[in-house]
Amino acid sequence: MASKNFLDTLTPTQRIVAGVLILIIGGIAALLRIQQEKHAPPGGPTGDNRNVRFGTPAPAERDPNSRDAYLIERPQYTLSYNDTKRTANWVCWNLTKGDIGNTPRLSHFDPDPELPGSFRKVKHDDYTGSGFDRGHLCPSKDRTDSADNNAATFYTTNIVPQSPACNRGGWERFESHCRDLTRDGSELHIAAGPHGTGGTGEKGPHDTIGGAKVNVPSATWKVVLVVPAGNARPGPDSKMLAVWMPNDQSVPEAWKPYQVSVATVEQRTGYKFFPLVPDDVAAPLKAREP
């Protein structure tokens, strides 16, 4: 005699109850999956988004109603955009030796096509004549392996009004230092962003610039996790670096005077960097003073 399957053993009423439970469980699972995709980008320890392999500094959503923390993901970087300030809150990217090539940089910045239609689009000319540079967060030179990758760094969501002294001085020197670290077989996980309101450029102090009223930050920061290239995870001997630079004309070419601990940047911003790194590993690295 053929054995009965489970449903054959149930009464009609039990079958109805079982069907309803299956529908409820399936609905809950679908809702959870939607919320996970909405609130956080893929890119945990086994995710496929290398730019946020160790997590994002703060939540962001792919929801037009999330105007001050709107998530944009592209192969070159991941960012949280603030429509009130007209700049990113933070930008995260992964840097390896293979990302660095000879592609020439562009000369013009475009509004980001990934922004919802209801958001104000910042234009190249919003910065023109302001006395501030169009300061990259994810640098152009970190994506010079191809023209397409370089072009992605020239969206106005990836820049902030930065004082020329900072942008062309200590900030640029730290960018170069990070690229130099890839030559020894290391790869870097980087986050950068603006902080506060009110900076000083070549034409004096400003809180906003341009017709779009782009927020001028009082400082810019960057944190870096250095690990061996490949899929290596951080350990006690790993390195973390951070800088916090004022957005004014006092910044020299040297970056080391502005080096701080990652814990200091966390305290000032309220962010938690590399949250997918276990705390027992991350905390000592973040606390190390320069």
Annotated binding site for Mg(2+): 167
Is 39 designated active site?
Answer: no
| Whole-angstrom distance, CA of residue 52 vs CA of residue 43 | 5
How is residue 146 written in tokens?
């191809």
Q: Where are the beta strands (DSSP E) in 164-282?
A: 186-195, 199-201, 204-206, 208-209, 214-215, 219-228, 239-246
The strand pairing partners of 61, in sequence order, are 70
Q: One of 136, 177, 189, 206 is an active-site residue; which one? A: 136
Give the closest residue to 81 by CA, choosing from 131, 118, 42.
118
For residues 233 and 285, is the Cβ–Cβ distance under 8 A? no
| Beta pairing, strands 214-215 & 87-95 | unpaired
How is residue 140 written in tokens?
């152009």
Q: How many CA atoms lie within 13 A of 117 on its CB side?
A: 0
- Active-site amino acid positions: 136
